Amino acid sequence: MKGTLRYLAGIAGPNGFGSRSTAEQVTQHSFFPCSHLTAIITGGTSGIGAETARVLAKRGVRVVMAVRDMKKAEMVKERIVRENPEADIRLFEIDLSSLSSVARFCSQFLSQDLPLNILINNAGVFSPDLEFSEEKIELTFATNFLGHYLLTEMLIEKMIDTAEKSGIEGRIINLSSVIHSWVKPDCFSFPKLLHPIRYNGTRAYAHSKLATILHAKELSKQLKDRNANVTINAVHPGIVKTGIIRAHKGLFTDSLFLIASKLLKSISQGAATTCYVALSNETKGLSGKYFADCNETNCSDLANDESVALKLCTQSRALIHVYLDESQKHSLLNVCLM
């Protein structure tokens, strides 16, 4: 209730930004020499992802859009370049629900010999009905978590190398959600995440968003152990009127959705926390944290459980080795942390 009242009042947090801050506002005085940065953003064809791409490009960042729909991506690129003719936007195709597609994307990106300073794991889906990926993994978990897990693992060495050569801290941002706090410890089971017995779309979405925080916690520990100049954090963008929210509507009571609708952020406000964590000097050195409304905040006890985080990442990596073919396994072994 306290957080809701703060949101409705538009109260700023300790850093001066809050729920009403926009992505442009929080990046006006970015610390980083943005013109020398390269960022990958997944799911940049609409909503928060498209706004994040636009604002980062406006600040001089080279933006690599990893997208499923290339036609929509071309339209987003055209809009960004129309506003900012100097924008450097690169488009690559990826289907995050497909491990083989993720591996192909990484191979294609790495062949470009571009630096990689920022990785924004933004793409997300909500499936009201039980669906499976081409690897027969539940679609929401495959897209929102497992695809991004593999993407990060295959690109982490490039990020570490870029940070070493440039002296600029690399940053990974995982898009999560406050809904992660709905998950109870006895319900978070890896086999059931892959193949649910009793499927519920909202529960599957919450599980996938919890997994993104746990991933940030575990990878942060690994990066610190290596003294790597790369951080990873999770962010809750807020309740934004996007396609995912509309998909959720049928699962909420009318009264709950009415309450939620009063808390909706604009898309630019929804992209603010991602952009803040990606570019702000105030987040330098912060890793394994959870942000909302552009400020560090608390996540659930389960999301802070180090043993659960380690188990999830260990099981995820083992699963990836089962599905990828031998040549892809070889490439993965060359770039993974563990």
Residues assigned a catalytic role: 199
* Strands across the sheet containing 118-121: 89-93, 62-67, 38-42, 118-121, 170-175, 230-236, 290-292, 295-297
Other Cβ atoms within 10 Å of 16 Cβ, number: 12
Backbone dihedral region for residue 233 (phi beyond 0: left; psi -120 to 50: alpha; all else: beta)? beta
Residues ≥6 apart with Cβ < 8 Å to 83: 54, 58
CA-based torsion, 103, 104, 107, 112: positive or negative: negative
Describe the crossing of helices 201-225 and 306-323 by its angle, rounded to 10 degrees.
Answer: 100
Q: How far apart are CA 265 and CA 16, in angstroms?
A: 18
Reading the block at residue 309, the tokens are 């985080």
